[in-house]
């Protein structure tokens, strides 16, 4: 891949929590217009990698930069992030959540509204934008989080298990939105442990196991290069080593983890005017 085509570069990244090596020597590049799947079991290092790519964590070693060489933590406005926990303000409407997030990035309400309405139509959320999110189903909360992440016009959309826990219809709607973004030339990093999902929506799949990249290529390439009958067979062949237990040492990352929570797990005022977790 030519450097001129690279939108996001991950170079020899190592991430250590206390004595646990979460990621070790991870390197790859993402081209503009690609939908790239990060596939691995729980504890593989997918969420840690996404937090590094979003600039919330800093690598112990290595670099993560945009195509022009700028470290991602200095250019968070170029990124749209949908974490595993949506972290919506339950006492605000869907649109108020989205508008607040867009204003943090200096995006006008008019621009944010136009982008929100466009994608809300795809997600069948138009009639719910004025509703408070407190009564939303998991699927509606996930759709709102997607709209929030897209409203400021990011160059890269980072999705952490975007269909986890969703019903079949909601999951299909989310995948259809990713397909729409892909056809419009958008760039998406799609983290999942569901191989069939990755095969459906991703141009390219990066298999991560125990903090190491085991394979990187299109589904057909992974099947062919591993002499396998299916992507599932290829995955099993590449991940025979016993999967480790999921681990993150939040104490060693207290400041950055608090930032992650502040951005995506907001708090709301109680009756005493104090703030409490949703």
Is residue 49 in some structural domain?
A: yes
CATH number at residue 187: 3.40.50.300
Measured CA to CA, the distance from residue 220 to residue 235 in angstroms comes to: 12
Is residue 23 in some structural domain?
A: no
Contact 214, 225 (CB under 8 A): no
Burial of 214 (0-12, 13-18, 19+ CB in 10 A): buried
Measured CA to CA, the distance from residue 85 to residue 87 in angstroms comes to: 6
Reading the chain (278 residues) residue by residue, the pLDDT tens digits are 444 578 899 999 999 988 889 999 999 999 999 999 999 988 889 999 999 999 889 999 999 999 888 888 888 889 999 988 888 999 999 999 999 999 999 999 999 999 999 999 989 999 999 999 998 998 999 999 999 999 999 999 999 999 888 889 889 999 999 999 999 999 999 999 888 899 989 999 999 999 999 999 999 999 999 999 999 999 999 988 876 666 555 444 445 555 555 555 554 444 433 333 44
Q: How many domains does the chain have?
A: 1
Is residue 66 in some structural domain?
A: no
Is residue 260 in some structural domain?
A: no
Domain that holds residue 77: 33-54+73-241
CA-based R_g, the chain, Å: 19
């Amino acid at each position: 891949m030519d450097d001129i085509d690279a939108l996001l570069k991950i170079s020899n990244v190592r991430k250590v929590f206390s004595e646990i090596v979460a990621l070790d020597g991870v390197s790859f590049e993402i081209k503009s217009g690609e939908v790239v799947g990060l596939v691995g079991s729980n504890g593989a290092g997918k969420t840690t990698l996404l937090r590094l790519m979003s600039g919330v964590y800093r690598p112990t070693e290595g670099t993560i930069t945009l195509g022009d060489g700028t470290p991602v933590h200095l250019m968070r406005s170029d990124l749209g992030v949908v974490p595993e926990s949506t972290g919506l303000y339950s006492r605000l409407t869907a649109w108020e959540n989205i508008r607040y997030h867009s204003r943090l990035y200096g995006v006008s309400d008019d621009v944010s509204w136009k982008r929100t309405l466009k994608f809300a139509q795809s997600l069948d959320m138009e009639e719910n934008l004025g509703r408070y999110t407190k009564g939303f189903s998991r699927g509606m909360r996930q759709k709102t989080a997607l709209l929030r992440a897209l409203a400021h016009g990011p160059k890269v959309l980072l999705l952490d298990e975007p269909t986890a826990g969703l019903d079949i219809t909601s999951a299909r709607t989310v995948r259809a939105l990713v397909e729409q973004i892909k056809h419009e030339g958008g760039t998406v990093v799609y983290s999942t442990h569901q191989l069939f999902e990755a095969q459906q929506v991703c141009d390219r799949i990066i298999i991560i196991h125990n903090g190491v990249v085991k394979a990187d290529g299109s589904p057909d390439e992974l099947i062919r290069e591993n002499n396998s009958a299916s992507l599932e067979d290829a995955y099993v062949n590449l991940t025979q080593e016993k999967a480790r237990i999921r681990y993150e040492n939040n104490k060693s990352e207290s400041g950055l983890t608090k930032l992650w929570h502040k951005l995506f797990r907001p708090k709301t005022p109680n009756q005493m005017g104090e703030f409490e977790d949703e």
